[in-house]
Amino acid sequence: MQKLDEREPARPVSPLAAAPSLAVQFFLVPLAVVAVVAAIYGGFRMMVADDRTPEEYLSEVRSGGRERRWPAAFELSRLMGEPDTELQYPDLAPALVRAFVESKGDDPRVRRYLALAIGRLQAPPPETVATLTEALNEADADTETAISVIWALASLGDAAVVPRLAEMYQSQDAGVRKMVVYALGALPDDGTHITLRAALGDPAPDVQWNAAIALARHGDGRGATVLGRMLDRDYVAGLVTSDTLAEPASEVMISGLRAVAALGAVSVGENFRAPVAALAEADQSLKVRQAAMETLEALEISPVSRYAAEQQ
């Protein structure tokens, strides 16, 4: 897995588009499966261009040959991102969950894409969260499947999974830890943020970055030091590479800027005014400069800024 193979998903484009909208605009979503989807999507759609229904794809998942099941599961994950799919096929959601259960021991690609499809459900069946959580307990679950399942649990938004996800932070795989941090940032928390604070010292820089962003989203400024490093182009550029993003360093910096903007309501956000102003003035990326200007505006209108102005 590359050091940074991330993107901020947007609804009909990425298979991760069902992530909570507020979380998505901040996080560096870490998915090896995203890179896989991006790589195969164009080629696969050129080879298999049809108008089959989700039910037909699900039938293919259950009874097709090995090299037909996973493409069908992929198509299901894509179709579930379309807002009318679930309404048009009301029996699809429980059938998806049953297919996921039946996929245990099958081609891991089938299981990964079914998890992504389930994570996009707007009205998941009652057993969905328990089914996905149980999948995390399977000894034979590979890391990419675990990443997909963790994302799906975060997308479904049930805070009851937080303790189990926190346990998953002990994984040796940086991609799993990164997705756990993303999930904990997207889900409600008891306010202690123990795992997120521990992740600020993770060996993988991008896990640290997601932890700082997650804390900022919760209004916690204890990741300020990490956020400061995210705004340093030379530092970030020395760490990130990506075959799927044109400006990976800029993407990291923009995510950091959005997190700083979220901290505008707490005093630590004020400490970023000078470095953010410098980025707005002279960064080489127009996108970073625009994000920096928006962050400055957020700092200007924060309660802290208004209070300081009133005291002058």
Q: Where are the domains of the chain?
A: 1-188, 202-312
> What does the alpha-carbon distance between residue 297 and residue 276 come to, in Å, rounded to a whole number?
11
Q: Which of 265, 245, 266 is nearest to 254 (CA)?
A: 245
Adjacent-strand bridge partners of 7: 29
Residue 37 predicted with pLDDT over 70: no
Residue 139 predicted with pLDDT over 70: no
pLDDT band (50, 70, 90) for residue 27: low
> What does the alpha-carbon distance between residue 210 and residue 18 come to, in Å, rounded to a whole number?
19
Q: What are phi and psi of 7, to 5 degrees?
A: -160, 160
Q: Report angle CA 193, 201, 30 to the nearest 5 degrees.
A: 75
> What does the alpha-carbon distance between residue 264 and residue 272 come to, in Å, rounded to a whole number?
9
> What does the alpha-carbon distance between residue 296 and residue 12 come to, in Å, rounded to a whole number?
30
> What does the alpha-carbon distance between residue 127 and residue 252 come to, in Å, rounded to a whole number?
36
In sequence order, what are the residues at sequence separation of 6 or more whose Cβ sits closer than 8 angstroms to the Cβ of residue 108? 142, 144, 145
In angstroms, how far is CA 13 from the centroid of its own chain?
A: 14
The CATH T-level fold of domain 1-188 is Leucine-rich Repeat Variant (1.25.10)
> What does the alpha-carbon distance between residue 70 and residue 63 come to, in Å, rounded to a whole number?
11
Neighbours of 56 (CB within 10 A): 13
Tell me the pLDDT tens digit for each residue of 14-23.
333 333 333 3
Tell me the pLDDT tens digit for each residue of 233-256.
999 999 987 666 678 899 999 999
The one-letter amino acid at 224: A
Contact at 8 Å (CB) between 296 and 276? yes
Tell me the pLDDT tens digit for each residue of 88-111.
999 999 999 999 999 988 899 999
pTM of the full structure: 0.80
Helix H or strand E encompassing 6: strand 6-7
Helix H or strand E encompassing 150: helix 143-156
Share of the chain above pLDDT 70, in %: 76
Read off the pLDDT of each residue in 158-179 and give the average, rounded to a whole number: 94
Average pLDDT over the chain reads 81
